[in-house]
């Protein structure tokens, strides 16, 4: 016969996702989205990733473990392609992944994060809800131009998503899996390049029209 749990033990059992403890929070308990908090989280994430990589491969130095190619799929693909291009500049390699592909992928990743923040900031959240983007980006909710900025982000992401979906049936899946989720899905590499090529053209055209 099992012993009944005490009241303190029962209080420790919570439904849903566990509360994140490695993030900076505002006074009301929500995840802070200020620039300072984001920089601190990025530094912490790098240190945690560095430690994990050295646990997997103790031969890595701290400097080597901090290199992006040890954690980022697209950074590793770019590094691989740069080595191939340097050795065989005229080679026609199936795994080409250029600096333009990398820069475009990073821009989409940033736009995706901005879009998530924009739609989260507009959603009414419960005071007991601690997950997700946090519902705040540290800016004044009554700031003039804030709504217009959020609409601009939503419009930019919608244009990007439409362009990607028109490029091919698996292009959006490739962006989500490889760029957003950082998964090395080799079978979607070609679809990712196609999506990034189309995005690059779209953003060049928008820059010229601005």
DSSP annotation string for 130-180: --TT-S--SS-TT-TTHHHHHHHHHHHHHHHHHHHHHH-TTHHHHIIIIII
**% of the chain at pLDDT higher than 70:** 60
167-191 pLDDT tens trace: 999 999 999 999 999 899 999 999 9
The domain tally of the chain equals 2
Query: Does the pLDDT of residue 72 top 60, yes or no?
Result: yes
Average pLDDT (20-48) is: 64
Domain match, 85 and 107 both: yes
Query: Does the pLDDT of residue 34 top 90, yes or no?
Result: no
Token pair in block for residue 58 = 């103790």
Domain match, 153 and 50 both: no
Domain match, 46 and 138 both: no
Domain match, 50 and 96 both: no
pLDDT band at 75 (very low <50, low <70, confident <90, very high): confident
Distances from the Cα of 19 to the Cα of 67, 164, 182, angstroms: 30, 34, 23
**Average pLDDT in the chain:** 77
* Residue 94 in domain: yes
Report the predicted TM-score, pTM, of the whole model to 2 decimal places.
0.63
pLDDT band at 69 (very low <50, low <70, confident <90, very high): low
Domain match, 100 and 152 both: yes
Q: Which of 36-40, 95-99, 115-119, 168-172 has the lowest mean pLDDT?
A: 36-40
Q: Which domain holds residue 79?
A: 72-209
Domain closes at, from 34, 66, 98: 66
Q: How many CA atoms lie within 13 A of 108 on its CB side?
A: 34
Domain match, 94 and 36 both: no
Domain closes at, from 14, 40, 66: 66
């Amino acid at each position: 016969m099992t012993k009944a749990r005490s009241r303190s033990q029962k209080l420790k059992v919570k439904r849903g996702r566990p509360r994140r403890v490695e993030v900076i929070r505002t006074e009301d308990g929500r995840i802070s989205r200020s620039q300072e908090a984001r920089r601190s989280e990025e530094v912490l994430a790098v240190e945690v990733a560095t430690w994990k990589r050295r646990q997997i491969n103790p031969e890595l130095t701290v400097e080597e473990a901090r290199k992006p190619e040890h954690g980022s799929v697209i950074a590793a693909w770019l590094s691989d392609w740069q080595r191939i291009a340097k050795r065989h500049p005229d080679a026609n390699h199936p795994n080409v992944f250029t600096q333009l592909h990398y820069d475009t992928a990073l821009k989409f990743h940033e736009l995706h994060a901005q879009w998530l923040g924009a739609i989260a900031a507009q959603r009414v959240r419960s005071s007991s809800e601690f997950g997700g983007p946090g519902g705040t980006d540290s800016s004044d909710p009554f700031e003039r131009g804030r709504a217009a900025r959020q609409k601009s982000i939503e419009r930019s992401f919608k244009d990007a998503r439409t362009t990607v979906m028109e490029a091919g049936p698996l292009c959006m899946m490739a962006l989500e899996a490889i760029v957003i989720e950082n998964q090395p899905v080799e079978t979607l590499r070609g679809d990712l390049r196609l999506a990034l090529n189309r995005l690059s053209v779209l953003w060049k055209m928008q820059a010229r029209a601005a």
